[in-house]
Structure 1
Amino acid sequence: MAKPLDAIDRKILAALVTDGRISNNLLAEKVGLSPAPCWQRMRRLEKEGYIEAYSAILNQEKLGMAETALVDIGLNQHDDATVNGFGQAITAMPEVLEVYLTTGEYDYFIKVAVEGTRGYEKFLRRLYKVPGVRSTRSSFTLRCLKKVSSVSP
């Protein structure tokens, strides 16, 4: 059973959200602990599932995929095979950054990194080959005002 978070645990998590590569010594200094207890708390937070993973955030523009499209997708059927098959197909596409199964008019909401409108057209051509896709509604982002990888504790 997971131990409830205390103020120091929350400080550790907040510091890691800001800089996942922070050294244990600097993290300990930031949260007011000595290095050994800080390391033990981090390991406990990982073991209890508060920390799921560490990752690098890459620059889409430098990788040639500067545009982001937000896409609502409607399926033509909602049986398990269609929903699960679509989920597997869409998560395997490398330009798809996020996938959400949603309520409302559309069934899925996805975030896609593309190389302009031509790159998006190529993506759509592959998307429409996935069994079960009925319709899409797309928007291109103009500018990102906030981008975080996790909630703040």
Structure 2
Amino acid sequence: MQNFVLDAFDRKILTILQNDATLSVSEIAERVGLSQTPCWKRIKRLEQEGVIDRRVAILNPERLGLHVTVIVAVRTSHHSDEWLQTFADGVSQIPEVVEFYRMSGDVDYLLKVVARDIADYDRIYRKLTKVAPLHDVSSSFAMQEIKSTTALPLGS
């Protein structure tokens, strides 16, 4: 897939939307120095080209009682496409898994899990280990969140 070329206006629009996607087109246009119609056309083009994937509300996990963040490292001795499909489908059905990556190196998969507490994580862990045969599952509990963002670096 080819990279999409952004100009200065596109980068400004995307920076604003990454921080607050609820702003009106007129507010965004004013902030970037465009009139409404050209700004709206740029936003629509960025959506059509897939640069803007979706717009979401970012929730506060603490306010929702999700006090534990766990990084789970998974190792497996199974590497077939069929096994991966089974594992990916099963993990995707666990809503507490909020990020899921296939890795290079010593760890095969990394998952980010949110849970209410340790007992809740144990419930999630037991569900995870039933999805497919696993060689090793190692859980690391986050002590403090230092940085968390959904904003991507846009360069200059």
Q: Check the 8 A contact 1:70/1:140 in 2, yes or no.
A: yes
Q: Which has the higher mean CA deviation after the structures are superposed, 82-91 or 1-10?
A: 1-10
Unaligned runs of 5+ in 1: none
Deviation at 1:4, TM superposition (A): 2.3
Deviation at 1:142, TM superposition (A): 1.4
Match of 1:56 in 2: 57
Deviation at 1:2, TM superposition (A): 7.7
Deviations 1:101-121, CA, capped at 9 Å, x for gaps: 101111110000011110111
For residues 114 and 4 of structure 2, the distance between their equivalents in structure 1, rounded to whole angstroms, comes to: 38
For residues 7 and 141 of structure 1, the distance between their equivalents in structure 2, rounded to whole angstroms, comes to: 37
Match of 1:98 in 2: 99
Deviations 1:77-133, CA, capped at 9 Å, x for gaps: 111111111011111101010000101111110000011110111111111111122
Q: Check the 8 A contact 2:4/2:51 in 1, yes or no.
A: no
Deviation at 1:7, TM superposition (A): 0.5
Report how many aligned residue pairs link the two structures: 153
Match of 2:81 in 1: 80
In structure 2, do the counterparts of structure 1 residues 2 and 96 end up closer, same or farther at CA, with 3 Å as the change threshold?
closer
Instruction: Give TM-score, length-normalised by structure 2.
Output: 0.93
Match of 1:35 in 2: 36
Q: Secondary structure at the match of 1:37?
A: helix
For residues 133 and 115 of structure 2, the distance between their equivalents in structure 1, rounded to whole angstroms, comes to: 23
Q: Secondary structure at the match of 2:139?
A: strand
In structure 2, do the counterparts of structure 1 residues 24 and 119 end up closer, same or farther at CA, with 3 Å as the change threshold?
same
Match of 1:114 in 2: 115
1:147 aligns with 2:148: yes
In structure 2, do the counterparts of structure 1 residues 3 and 64 end up closer, same or farther at CA, with 3 Å as the change threshold?
closer
Q: Check the 8 A contact 1:75/1:107 in 2, yes or no.
A: yes
Unaligned runs of 5+ in 2: none
In structure 2, do the counterparts of structure 1 residues 61 and 84 end up closer, same or farther at CA, with 3 Å as the change threshold?
same
Q: Check the 8 A contact 1:67/1:140 in 2, yes or no.
A: yes
Q: Check the 8 A contact 2:19/2:151 in 1, yes or no.
A: no
Match of 1:138 in 2: 139
Q: Check the 8 A contact 1:2/1:48 in 2, yes or no.
A: no
For residues 53 and 60 of structure 1, the distance between their equivalents in structure 2, rounded to whole angstroms, comes to: 20
* Runs of 4+ that moved beyond 4 A: none
Q: Which has the higher mean CA deviation after the structures are superposed, 143-152 or 81-90?
A: 143-152
Q: How many percent of aligned residue pairs carry the same amino acid?
A: 38
Name the aligned partner's letter for residue 93 of structure 1: I
Deviation at 1:150, TM superposition (A): 3.3
